Amino acid sequence: MKVKALKFILTVAAVLGLALVTSHFHSDSSAQAATKPSYSEAYKVAKKQLGKPYGWGSTGPSRFDCSGLTKYVFKKGAGKTLHRTAQSQYNHYKKVSYKNIKKGDLVFFGGSKHSISHVGMYIGNGKMIDSQNRGVIVERVKAPWWNYVGSARPVNFAS
């Protein structure tokens, strides 16, 4: 009788353990799907910064340089910590061609891929939000005063 009782207890424990493990993995994948960053949240954060002044080396929240703005927006709006400088952001994230650019991608400017001096966040229709000498503004990516070098996708935003 003791053997049957022990087998029963072990079977129940195994079933409960399996149910617990399965539940844990299911809730983790559901949580990841539910918390995938959205472009609209990042855009809301970026839009709230419009009009704030430029400050060399500034990372917000009252003033920004270009990479300080993108770092701030992605941390607050997408939960993603970006590298600090425009060059480092360019170096570390997946490159995308201009024809495949999506809202929320980063756009980079400078002399070459080895001398990136500016970054902004693409918001669609050929425009970006960036921080430059006129402060945080919306402007065209292909403006004549910027030498577009490339784009990168630090986050795959939820559709």
Is 83 assigned a catalytic role?
no
Comparing CA positions, the residue from 72, 61, 53, 62 lying closest to residue 120 is: 72
List the catalytic residue out of 24, 28, 92, 130. 130
Query: pLDDT for 140-150, tens place per residue?
Result: 999 999 999 99
Is 130 assigned a catalytic role?
yes
Query: pLDDT for 74-83, tens place per residue?
Result: 999 999 999 9
pTM: 0.78
| Minimum mean pLDDT range among 21-25, 63-67, 102-106 | 21-25
Phi, psi of 20 (to 5 degrees): -65, -45
List the catalytic residue out of 26, 66, 105, 114. 66
Is 66 assigned a catalytic role?
yes
Does pLDDT of 15 surpass 90?
no
The residue with greater pLDDT, 156 or 29, is: 156
Comparing CA positions, the residue from 48, 40, 60, 66 lying closest to residue 123 is: 40
Q: Is the peptide bond before 53 cis (omega within 30 degrees of 0)?
A: no
Share of the chain above pLDDT 70, in %: 78
Predicted local distance difference test score (pLDDT) of residue 158: 84
Distance CA 119, CA 18 (A): 49
Does pLDDT of 116 surpass 60?
yes
